[in-house]
A and B are shown apart, each in its own frame.
Chain A
């Protein structure tokens, strides 16, 4: 069982569509991070959310941290082919080391 459950596992959409991916846990986190990984490369940090209820925007990407600091979501508006990649959430439960979710593999078709 993954500490961080990400859904959906796979997502294939057309360019211009909106989407939301989720990262859920039964544990409380001091912070959660979102990374994007492209083929042949390592994950690259997109954002860190720290405060319960926090919303952060990065151009067309909106990240939200749940009020109870157990879950997070990533919403992409008007997806583009360049958004294609593996989206990973990561967090360290209080007193523990950081762990990664299994990821959502997003494909945006032109």
Chain B
């Protein structure tokens, strides 16, 4: 079974550039989550979608971050303009529903470095 697929695996770019991270959730899963992981702050929930609709984006750091889910099989997280403090590993996860007891299935992450 294909798990959650994220691309790219690594991204290195200069500050000020636009960065787009991509995620394909597990087929049939209705909820999708974007997380950011750093040593200092751990795993932080940025935003999640239920049935392609953003439900809670209170974790999005600021207006430079935006996320979309145009259909059930694809989501993007965009940073524009990027800054060095955005450097982190970004994870996408999906679950069957958004319920609190539902296990989340994570992709392998995108390691982002902003120079």
Contacts and interface: CB of A to CB of B under 8 A. Distances in A.
B100 A30 contact: yes
Contacts of A97: 45, 48, 56
A40 B108 contact: yes
A102 interface: yes
Interface residues of A, number: 24
Given A43-B106, A100-B43, A50 B101 contact: yes
B42 A31 contact: no
B103 A42 contact: no
B100 A92 contact: yes
A48 B103 CA distance: 8
Contact of B104 (A29, A45, A50): A45
Contacts of B107: 42
Contacts of A102: 42
A86 to B, nearest CB: 9
Interface in A15-57: 29-31, 33, 40-45, 48, 50
A48 B101 contact: yes
Given A41-B106, A42-B107, 5 more contacts: A42-B106, A45-B103, A91-B100, A99-B45, A100-B43
Interface of A: 2, 29-31, 33, 40-45, 48, 50, 88, 90-92, 97-103
